[in-house]
Structure 1
Amino acid sequence: MTVVPPRRVRRRPDPLLRDALGSVLRAERTAQGRTLSDVASDARVSLPHLSEVERGRKEPSSEVLAAICGALGLDLADLLLRTSRHVRDLTSVVEPAVPVVSSAPTVSLSLVA
């Protein structure tokens, strides 16, 4: 029996970049146990603006992203990698491995001495 390995199948359209970035930033902030106020202060960004960025309501500039990443101790490259993974996870689903029964005839050989 042959088993076809799982594969990713397109499930739905990609989310907006600002939504994906915001989700990843919020997840990192909460994983660190930090408040919006704390990170906003360290990033020198207003608390309402940071909240809007995390909720995907505001498209952050590269300067704001750099400031937020700095406040979280997160490299921009790592943020982008995590965001890419987040988008992939949202937009694809893994199909289970499926056993495939071959319809080819089987031939049995026996050797007689």
Structure 2
Amino acid sequence: MRTSTVVPSRRVRRRPDPLLRDVLGGVLRAERTAQARTLSDVATAARVSLAHLSEVERGRKEPSSEVLAAICGALGLDLADLLLRTGRHVRDLTSVTAPAAPAAGSFRAGPGVSLSLVA
């Protein structure tokens, strides 16, 4: 007689969505530091105050579209590239957390099911 293994249902926990201003600010700061530029240099080139740029980078202020365009211009960054990078970070931050591994031999992938391991 063959016994079946019962696998308890697993809840897939999704990470909470980050605030867009936090991710956007982080991407802007990463670009500025990758260019080895100071807050003062970029703020001057973008014609925004140093304090405001700092607040944007730390996710404390929502930049208007005009300010965002000015910062991107000062960094030589296309708005589309900024949005793509921001989208990738949001996706990475909100990806589904891996559930606990099932007991050995208790799960088999059916046809058309692809399994991958994420490091």
Please confirm whether the aligned pair reaches a TM-score higher than 0.5, indicating the same fold: yes
* TM-score bin, normalised by smaller chain: 0.7 to 0.9
Equivalence for 2:66: 63
RCO greater where, 1 or 2, for CA within 8 Å and sep 6 or more? Answer: 1
Alignment of 1:52 with 2:55, yes or no, is yes
Q: How many residues align?
A: 94
Structure (1 or 2) with the greater strand fraction: 1
Query: TM (normalized to structure 1)?
Result: 0.74
Equivalence for 1:29: 32
Name stretches of at least 5 consecutive residues in structure 2 with no aligned partner: 1-11, 110-119
Q: How far apart, in 1, do the equivalents of 2:42 and 2:53 lie? A: 8
What is the letter of the counterpart of residue 80 of structure 2? A
Of 20, 23, 34, the match for 2:23 = 20
Query: TM (normalized to structure 2)?
Result: 0.70
Of 80, 86, 91, the match for 1:88 = 91
Please say which structure displays the higher CA radius of gyration: 1
Deviations 1:32-87 (A, max 9, x none): 11110000000000000000000000000000000000000000000000000011
Name stretches of at least 5 consecutive residues in structure 1 with no aligned partner: 1-8, 103-113
User: 4+ residue runs of structure 1 moved beyond 3 angstroms?
Assistant: 98-102
